[in-house]
C-alpha cells in the first residue's frame, strides 16, 4: 500500500517572532497554505489512497473557521483518498473543537481518545487522538493486533522515549514496548524534525517554524508491504532557517561589521540568524546593528565572539584585574554558564581598563 505521512502543520499559528519583522509572519502563513495545497495536488495526481496526519493540523487557540473550510475543501478534491487525522496537543479533540462540531468530508476519519481500528482489505489502521492539551497515558502500548497477516499501522501524536518532565505530558511512548506490538508502520507526530527508527517514523513538519528546526522540511511518500518498507522524503518548504557564522576577528569598526554582514552570501529566499564568531576588537550592539542592516530575512544576530585578551598572562599579574579574573573563573558551582562568565569578564575588564 502507498500513503503520505505528514504532521505538525499548525495552521493559523501566530508566527510570533516572524510577525515582528514586517509582514514575514503573514508571508509564512500563505506559504503554509500553498505547501498544504501542494500535498493535496500530489496525492491527486499520484492517485494515492491514504493520507495520514499525525496531529497538530491546526492551532486550537487561533484557528479560524475559514481555515478549516479551506482545509476541508481541499480534502473534497481527493474523494478517493482516505484521510486519517490523529489530533495532538495543539489540536485536541475537544467538545468545542472543529474536529467535533464541523461537518468534515466523508473521506475524513478523525481519531479520539478511544483507540480505534479501521478495517480495510489490505490494512488495519489503528489510531489515537488527544482529548486535552496534555496526555500522560494513551494506552497505545496496550494495543493487541487482531490480524497479524495484514498490514497493521498505528497513527498517533506523542513523545518517543520521553525523558524530560515536559515531554512526559505529551503522550510518552516507550520504543521497546511499541515495537513489541508488531505494527508494520508507526506514523507519529509532535517532533518537527524527521526521525526514522526503522518503522517508527516522525515526518517532521512540512514547514519550518524557526531556528530550532533547521534543514529541509516536507512530507513522506511511503510504500509499504509485509516484506518491505520504502520511505521517500519530498521537500516542500523552499524557505529554510539558516544559521550563518561571520568571523569578525579582522573587524575594527562597526561600519566594517555591518558591511561584512550585508555583503555575506545570503539568499533572499532564506531566513537567517547571523552568528558572530572570532576575537572581537569592537563593542557589539546587536540590536543597533540589526536595525541598521534592516534586511527582512535577517531575524537575529548572536554574539559568540571572545574578548581578545590573554587571560593566562593577566591571571599571573598581581593587580586588581588578575584578582577579578581569578574570582570569576573560580565559580565551580554551576551558578553561571560559560557564556555568562565570558560576558562578565568582558564587561569587568573593560571597566578596569578605563
315, 343 contact by CB (below 8 A) = no
- 122 or 25, which is more confident: 122
What distance in Å separates the CA atoms of residue 236 and residue 111, rounded to the nearest whole number? 26
Q: What is the pLDDT of residue 305?
A: 86
Query: For residue 214, how far is the Cα from the chain centroid?
Result: 8
Q: What is the pLDDT of residue 327?
A: 74
Q: What is the pTM of this model?
A: 0.81
Q: State percent of the chain over pLDDT 70.
A: 89
Q: Is 314 exposed, middle or buried, given 0-12, 13-18 or 19+ CB atoms closer than 10 A?
A: middle
Burial of residue 73 (CB within 10 Å: 0-12, 13-18, 19+) is exposed
The pLDDT value given to residue 353: 57
Q: What stretches of the chain show up as alpha helix (H) in DSSP?
A: 16-19, 24-46, 65-76, 98-101, 175-181, 254-262, 286-293, 311-315, 320-329, 338-353
Cα separations (Å) of 349 from 11, 36, 111, 344?
49, 54, 61, 8
132 DSSP 8-state letter: S
- At 123 the pLDDT is 96
Q: What is the mean pLDDT of residues 305-326?
A: 73
Q: What is the pLDDT of residue 27?
A: 81
Q: Is the pLDDT of residue 76 over 60?
A: yes
What's the chain's length in residues? 354
How high is the mean pLDDT of the chain?
A: 89
Residue 334, pLDDT > 70, answer no
Q: What angle do CA 4, 7, 13 make, to 5 degrees?
A: 135
CA distance 66 to 74: 12
Q: What confidence tens digit (pLDDT) does each residue in 174-197 have?
A: 999 999 999 999 999 999 999 999
The pLDDT value recorded for residue 21 is 60
State whether residue 70 is helix, strand or coil. helix
Greater confidence, 124 or 213? 124
| Domains of the chain with bracketed CATH | 2-235 (3.60.21.10), 242-353 (no CATH)
Report whether pLDDT(263) > 70: yes
Amino acid at each position: 500500500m502507498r500513503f503520505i505521512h505528514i504532521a505538525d502543520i499548525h495552521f493559523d499559528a501566530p508566527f510570533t517572532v516572524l510577525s515582528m519583522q514586517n509582514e514575514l509572519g503573514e508571508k509564512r502563513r500563505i506559504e503554509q497554505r500553498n505547501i498544504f495545497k501542494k500535498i493535496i495536488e500530489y496525492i491527486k495526481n499520484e492517485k494515492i489512497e491514504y493520507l495520514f496526519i499525525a496531529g497538530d493540523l491546526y492551532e486550537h487557540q487561533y484557528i479560524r473557521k475559514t481555515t478549516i473550510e479551506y482545509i476541508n475543501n481541499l480534502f473534497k478534491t481527493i474523494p478517493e483518498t482516505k484521510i486519517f487525522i490523529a489530533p495532538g496537543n495543539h489540536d485536541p479533540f475537544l467538545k468545542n473543537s472543529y474536529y467535533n462540531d464541523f461537518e468534515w468530508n466523508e473521506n475524513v476519519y478523525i481519531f479520539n481518545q478511544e483507540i480505534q481500528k479501521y478495517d480495510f482489505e489490505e490494512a488495519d489502521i489503528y489510531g489515537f487522538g488527544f482529548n486535552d492539551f496534555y496526555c500522560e497515558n494513551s494506552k497505545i502500548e496496550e494495543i493487541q493486533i487482531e490480524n497479524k497477516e495484514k498490514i497493521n499501522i498505528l497513527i498517533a501524536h506523542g513523545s518517543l522515549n520521553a525523558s524530560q518532565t515536559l515531554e512526559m505530558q505529551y503522550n510518552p511512548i516507550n520504543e521497546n514496548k511499541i515495537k513489541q506490538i508488531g505494527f508494520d508502520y508507526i506514523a507519529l507526530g509532535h517532533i518537527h524534525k524527521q526521525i526514522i527508527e526503522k518503522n517508527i517514523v516522525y515526518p517532521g513538519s512540512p514547514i519550518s517554524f524557526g531556528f530550532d528546526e533547521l534543514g529541509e522540511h516536507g512530507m513522506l511518500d511511503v510504500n509499504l508491504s509485509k516484506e518491505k518498507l520504502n520511505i521517500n522524503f519530498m521537500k516542500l518548504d523552499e524557505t529554510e532557517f539558516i544559521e550563518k557564522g561571520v568571523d569578525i576577528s579582522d573587524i575594527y569598526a562597526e561600519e566594517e561589521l555591518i558591511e561584512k554582514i550585508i555583503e555575506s552570501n545570503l539568499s533572499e529566499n532564506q531566513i537567517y540568524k547571523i552568528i558572530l564568531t572570532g576575537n572581537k576588537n569592537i563593542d557589539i550592539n546587536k540590536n543597533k546593528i540589526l536595525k541598521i542592516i534592516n534586511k527582512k530575512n535577517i531575524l537575529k544576530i548572536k554574539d559568540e565572539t571572545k574578548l581578545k585578551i590573554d587571560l593566562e598572562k593577566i591571571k599571573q599579574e598581581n593587580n586588581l584585574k588578575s584578582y577579578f579574573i581569578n574570582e570569576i573563573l573560580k565559580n565551580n558551582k554551576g551558578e553561571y554558564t560559560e557564556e555568562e562568565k565570558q560576558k562578565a569578564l568582558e564587561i569587568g575588564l573593560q571597566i578596569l581598563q578605563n
